[in-house]
Amino acid sequence: MSTTRNRSRIALGAFVAAICASAALVAQQRPGRVADATGVISGAVTSAKGPEAGVWVIAESDDFRGSKFRKIVVTDDRGRYLLPDLPKNANYRVWVRGYGLTDSTPVNGKVDGTLNLTAVIAKTPQEAAQYYPASYWASLIEPPKPSEFPGTGPSGNGISPQIKTQDEWINIIKSCERCHQLGSKMTRTNPDKQKFGSSEKAWDHRLTMGQRGAEMSAFATRMGRPAALKMFADWSNRVEKGEVPPAPPRPQGIERNVVLTLWGWNDEYGMVHDEVATDKRNPRINPNGPIYAVDWTNDWFMWVDPVTNTSERIKVPAGTAKSKLRQTGFVPFRFFGEEPVWENPASPHNPMMDERGRVWLTTTHREPDNPAWCKEGSSNKFAQYHPLVRSGEQAGYYDPKTQGFTLIDTCFGTHHLQFAEDDDNTLVFSNPGGQEVGWLNTKLYDKTGDAQASQGWCPTVLDTNGDGKITRPFNQPVRGRAVTGDEDSETAGLGKTDLKLDTRIIVGPYGIVMNPVDDTIWGSTDEVEVPGQIFRIDRGQNPPETCVTERYMLPKELGYRPRGIDVDRNGVIWTALAGSAHMASFDRRKCKVLNGPSSANGRHCDEGWTFYKQPGPPFKGTKIGSEFNYYNWVDQFNTLGLGDNIPIANGSGSDSLLALNPATKEWVVMRVPYPMGFHSRGLDGRIDDPKAGWKGRGVYATYGADAMWHIEGGPKEKNSLIKFQIRPDPLAR
């Protein structure tokens, strides 16, 4: 880390510490609506062709401390617009962006004034396509044909023999998008082509650059490096020659009622993983208060004040933890050279708010080796049943009242976290690298401060003998072997299986959620393998002995790769399928069989699944959508205004949030047109004032790309928080 950057961070930390008390006090003094000191800018947008319907009008201001402020709306069918809720104490630059256009020249706008704007028609398809979402450009990628699988290796077609189907290949392509969009200007162009003499050699180098270059490179190798490089080189060569994707539709219908408010926060280096605005169980907690988030790559804990339109940040304490990212010896970055712009010993991940307004998070504060009470030989009943040697990440919380962090040790690893709706305020954790699922009784912890007494965990064991309980000994899983779901029970990653016994499986949960109907734990396994699975854990009355797991594989012919997971108020599970670009629901009430021998391979309740194809173009020559969903969320309490129990997928590849009406199977695409590169992760919705109509509610997301410098305006563009609102019509004030 450079000395200059360290000094600036220390200075910022001191400044933030000095104002923390006043910021927290303000947050506690906002039980209802705040004084309205805002106005509007309105007018009409026309071009040489007449009124421009369904285009965006963008207002931007630099007049707020620590935060660039932006407001974005869509024009109605007559080209009219109205930018609402603009703080009056600021100056604004206003311009037009839309499909089929090039950006108009920004002009100065005054609050409560009329401002008519002139849109500029794009002169060529290539000029117009510069504003298309990344997933549309990614759709020009042409994977190998189905007939080319399984691969024949370096001496054959260059595809790895381990890749059996085109679906598996596409799934690995999409693994790139866990960290950034594929199809953004930064990725579809190949600036090093001349330097290395060919597109393939340039791609071979670019996949090794930076602190996470080894990870990118490993995915290319897994696909079969020669074939992967050939495919990406062909893509960027065709783009260079002028090939363009299909044009996206302009916003239609209710999509024109969307209002976006953006606040800048953090910096140009950090990946802001998730944000939290309220208690997921009660979206009226923390009304008008700060929206909080964590930066996984540089250990920042940050917040935006939506009343003053300012942002602040402080460091998450790391204890004895060490950075998880390479600090030296990596292939230099394109923009930053050998400087390690990421340093994350704490690596905080997923924030979640409780009923007291405290922000809980998964974070690291010690070396991986667990204390003795977690291991074999301990008197702890959970360790006796399933001992744990290592924990890669633990937990903690930030209390706005004290402006301090409390760190809590856990035997199990952590990643995502969710509160149950039980008397203990149980907090359950996912752990992608683990073989168990753990939880914390936060009520007991608050009372005793005893981390050991307040936590528990259980391995994931199926009731494959069908007697309604889990009994030792049980079948053990085969390490390092994927489960495909269409295999029989003896080969479904379980080894030699005696179905007179119960069967332990490794779910490695990525997503996690608590079912409000019965307090069971549900999770998703983000397997790069096809098709993936979700699972259910009933802890019973005396865990870990009474923990019973069920797993449900996806029918891969219909959809694959569940990543995010959430649940509606009826107990129906929703998961966005990052591989096949579907939203899927699973209703356990439809299952005829729940356990027993036929449940071993997870295909005993295909009737529980329903699939909804997402909008957007497919990869070239395929029927597989180019969209990527980092996660998904269910709006249980109508915080957005589309109704209760509306599932929303992160359109992380298409600059959007994708809201589904399950009854009509219709999608509402809420696009973020500026800055391009909106790669979102977690969502949260809040109701500030239930009596204030659309103005009293909203859903929040953030730019979540690891490589922030891929965003339009990079490498200097900072991260932004986005508030999504839906008003009754495009001109509502």
Q: Tell me what pLDDT residue 35 has.
A: 53
Q: Tell me what pLDDT residue 543 has.
A: 98
* Tokens 């797993």 found at: 551
Beta bridge partners of 562: 577
Q: Tell me what pLDDT residue 4 has.
A: 33
- Kindly write down the DSSP assignment for every residue of 290-306, as one continuous string: -EEEEETTTTEEEEEET
Nearest to 295 by CA among 703, 725, 715: 703
Count of C-beta atoms within a 10 Å radius of residue 215 = 18
Buried b (16+ CB within 10 A) or exposed e, 670-699: bbbbbbbbbbbbbbbbbbbbeeeebbbbbb
Q: Tell me what pLDDT residue 30 has.
A: 52
How far apart CA 311 and CA 722 sit, in angstroms, is: 13
CA 294: distance to chain centroid?
Answer: 13
Structure tokens at 208: 């090794």
Residue 533 contacts residue 547 (beta carbons within 8 Å): no
Q: Tell me what pLDDT residue 193 has.
A: 94
User: Residue 663: what residue type?
Assistant: A
Question: Is 233 contained in some domain?
Answer: yes
Residue 659 contacts residue 576 (beta carbons within 8 Å): no
Domain tally for the chain?
Answer: 1
Question: Is 144 contained in some domain?
Answer: yes
How far apart CA 560 and CA 576 sit, in angstroms, is: 9
Nearest to 223 by CA among 451, 511, 528: 528
Question: Is 457 contained in some domain?
Answer: no
User: Residue 409: what residue type?
Assistant: D
- Kindly write down the DSSP assignment for every residue of 318-375, as one continuous string: -TT---SS--SSSBPBTTTBT------SS-----EE-TTS-EEEEE--S-SBPPGGGS
Question: Is 168 contained in some domain?
Answer: yes
Question: Is 692 contained in some domain?
Answer: no
Domain ranges, residue 660: 132-248+614-671
Using only the alpha carbons of the chain, give its radius of gyration.
25
Question: Is 436 contained in some domain?
Answer: no
Phi, psi of 268 (to 5 degrees): -85, 0
Q: Tell me what pLDDT residue 499 has.
A: 84
- Kindly write down the DSSP assignment for every residue of 196-261, as one continuous string: HSSHHHHHHHHTTBSTTHHHHHHHHHHH-HHHHHHHHHHHHHHHHTT--PPPPPPP-GGGGGEEEE
Residue 182 makes CB contacts below 8 A (sequence gap 6+) with 134, 135, 138, 141, 173, 174, 176, 628, 653
Q: Tell me what pLDDT residue 34 has.
A: 52
Q: Tell me what pLDDT residue 495 has.
A: 54
Question: Is 423 contained in some domain?
Answer: no
CB < 8 Å & 24+ apart, contacts of 98-101:
98/52, 98/54, 98/55, 98/56, 98/131, 98/250, 98/673, 99/55, 99/128, 99/131, 99/132, 99/247, 99/248, 99/249, 99/250, 100/128, 100/247, 100/250, 101/47, 101/52, 101/55, 101/128, 101/131
Question: Is 471 contained in some domain?
Answer: no
How far is the CA of 683 from the CAs of 174, 216, 276, 552, 601, in angstroms? 21, 26, 8, 25, 32
Low-confidence ranges of the chain (pLDDT < 70): 1-35, 478-496
